[in-house]
Amino acid sequence: MKNCKCVWLFVVVSILIPGFVYADGPAFKNETVRMCGGEHEWPPYYYYKRVDGKKTKEIVGFDIDLFNMILTERGIKYTAKLLPWKRSLKLGMMGEKYDVVFGGGLNDQRRRDYVTTEGYYSVTPTYFYAKAAFPGGFRPESASEIKGDGRKLCGLQGFNYVNFGQNNADIEMESKDYNSLVGKTAVKRCDVSFVRYEILAGWGELLYKDFVGNDKLVFAPVPGVSPESFHLMISKNWKYAEDFKKYFDNAVAELKASGELKKLLDKHVKASLAK
């Protein structure tokens, strides 16, 4: 009975004290976790640091600060590299050169291909338009109403807008960057365009252009659509995949409960879209 009580005590303490089960460090504590993301950059979450307006090789942002808190400060080594997104996904899935892809939105295929964590941040699917294009304003009640009868919809080249409640085939995706997309919309070459609001604001900070403060434009969240969550996608071929998922999810939960995650997000995410 005495031994039984000790076992139950361990179980109770493990539940009540987050991270207790890692008192001696996680199973991968002596490994270097090899992480990759998209070289397209995703400010304010991850991007190359600029010095005097010039891109450096140093990756910074919310993700990197979070990984430093969860990994580096707990004695776990990691590396992070930005690659072409499709290559990042492929190599991260194979698990030979990289163990983890960071900043990934999920779909059914990715859920099958990777071990995925809980979301550690989310962004707001947003539509915007030129005030001059809709003098009386434009407030659709559903995502499907945005298309309307022949409106020209625009987005960024290569992006996915299914989570915006849209059919990608209905969206012109000729703009290679936000500067082009915002410019086209402001001069009414697009009736309505789509962005992830926090990312557009992040690029504005990085490029010293107040995209979201443009008084010629109106921004609003896509009605009836949930925020998009972003996750770590871990190679199923990495033997520590499940251990890392559990460790990361627990660590994020701790930071969320303590308020530290919100502080870190507030430090990086400078703009939010009023709902």
Q: What is the mean pLDDT of residues 261-271?
A: 91
DSSP for 152-215, please give it.
Answer: PEEEETT---GGGT--GGGEEEEESSHHHHHHHHHTTSSSEEEEEHHHHHHHHHHHT--GGG-T
- Whether residue 225 is predicted with pLDDT greater than 80 in this model: the reply is yes
Query: 94-140: per-residue pLDDT in tens?
Result: 999 999 999 999 989 999 999 999 999 999 999 999 999 999 999 99
- Whether residue 274 is predicted with pLDDT greater than 60 in this model: the reply is no
- Asked if 153 contacts 135 with a C-beta cutoff of 8 angstroms, the reply is no
- Whether residue 181 is predicted with pLDDT greater than 90 in this model: the reply is yes
Q: What is the mean pLDDT of residues 174-188?
A: 96
* pLDDT given for residue 8 in this prediction: 46
- Residue 122, judged by CB atoms within 10 A of its CB (0-12, 13-18, 19+), counts as middle
- Identify the band that residue 273 occupies on the pLDDT scale cut at 50, 70 and 90: low
- The long-range contacts involving 256-263, CB below 8 angstroms and separated by at least 24 positions, are 257/18, 260/69, 261/66, 261/120
Peptide bond before residue 140 is cis, with ω within 30 degrees of 0 = no
* pLDDT given for residue 272 in this prediction: 64
Distances (CA, A) of 212 to 141, 219, 231: 22, 8, 25
* pLDDT given for residue 188 in this prediction: 97
User: What does the alpha-carbon distance between residue 231 and residue 95 come to, in Å, rounded to a whole number?
Assistant: 17
- Average pLDDT value for the chain: 91
Q: Classify 226 as helix, strand or coil.
A: coil
Question: Which superfamily does 125-221 belong to?
Answer: Periplasmic binding protein-like II (3.40.190.10)
Query: 231-242: per-residue pLDDT in tens?
Result: 999 999 999 999
- Identify the band that residue 270 occupies on the pLDDT scale cut at 50, 70 and 90: confident
* DSSP 8-state assignment for residue 222: P
- Looking at 3.40.50.300, 3.40.190.10, 1.10.1040.50, 3.90.1150.10, the CATH number of the domain 27-122+228-268 comes to 3.40.190.10
Topology match between the domains 27-122+228-268 and 125-221? yes
- Residue 271, judged by CB atoms within 10 A of its CB (0-12, 13-18, 19+), counts as middle
Query: 45-59: per-residue pLDDT in tens?
Result: 999 999 998 999 999
Query: 11-40: per-residue pLDDT in tens?
Result: 444 444 444 445 578 999 999 999 999 999
- Whether residue 275 is predicted with pLDDT greater than 60 in this model: the reply is no
- Asked if 268 contacts 45 with a C-beta cutoff of 8 angstroms, the reply is yes
- Asked if 68 contacts 251 with a C-beta cutoff of 8 angstroms, the reply is no
pTM: 0.86
- Domain residues of the chain, as ranges? 27-122+228-268, 125-221
